[in-house]
Structure 1
Amino acid sequence: MAKGVVGKTVDNLGEYLKEQRTASKLSLRQLSEVAGVSNPYLSQIERGLRKPSADVLQQIAKALRISAEQLYIRAGILSPEDGLGGSVELAVLADPGLTERQKQSLLDVYASFLAINAAESGEGES
């Protein structure tokens, strides 16, 4: 069965979530109750069939008592190379006053600005 757009990053995320859930000695049903995420949806995330939103990842991280940032990196929302620069992304993702679509739009614009600046600084060095 082809996974299409969801891809390898979500597989890695699903495997990681399952490992963390197992290490926490929680069943899928228990984690879904604590995180406030439906059992079938959580199962699809673990199997790599769904890519969860930043809000859902935050709920899961809180329930598992792990870093939401780590989940964002595994989901491909943040880059591990961001280092301290990731604080902008984290601030956007943590803002409860924004919708998921608004958060993603802001992150896309921010990433495009970084890419433009990197390309311009690369041209000046030649």
Structure 2
Amino acid sequence: MELRRTFGQNVRQARLARGMTIEALAQDAGLSYSYLGEIERGLRNPTLAVIEGLAASLAVEPHSLLQP
């Protein structure tokens, strides 16, 4: 599986586990709703800064979002 797809699925799972909506996570991480949706669907290649921001908003380690 592609890394960006794995990352997107892990972001979605972590978001749902925390009971967050996509809108709430996008706002907390400083991203647009549509950009975050594309990340979750594996359509975007986020920068390291975006990965770090999402991990902070989800209270997880960045590397955990990249692991299959």
TM-score by length of 2: 0.90
Whether 1:37 and 2:68 are equivalent positions in the alignment is: no
Which of structure 1's runs of 4+ aligned residues deviate more than 6 A? Answer: none
1: distance between equivalents of 2:12 and 2:20?
10
Instruction: Give 1 or 2 for the bigger CA radius of gyration.
Output: 1
Tell me which residue corresponds to 1:63: 57
2: distance between equivalents of 1:35 and 1:25?
15
1:48-107 deviation digits (Å, cap 9, x = unpaired): 000100000111000000002323xx18xxxxxxxxxxxxxxxxxxxxxxxxxxxxxxxx
1:5-47 deviation digits (Å, cap 9, x = unpaired): xx71111111111000000000000000111111111000000
In terms of fraction of residues, the more helix-rich structure is 1
DSSP 3-state at the match of 2:31: coil
Aligned partner of 1:17: which letter?
V
Higher relative contact order (CA 8 A, sep 6+): 2
1: distance between equivalents of 2:23 and 2:8?
15
Percent of aligned pairs with the same amino acid: 30
What count of residue pairs does the alignment treat as equivalent? 67
Tell me which residue corresponds to 1:83: none
Where do 5+ consecutive residues of structure 1 fail to align? 1-6, 76-126
Aligned partner of 1:54: which letter?
L
Where do 5+ consecutive residues of structure 2 fail to align? none
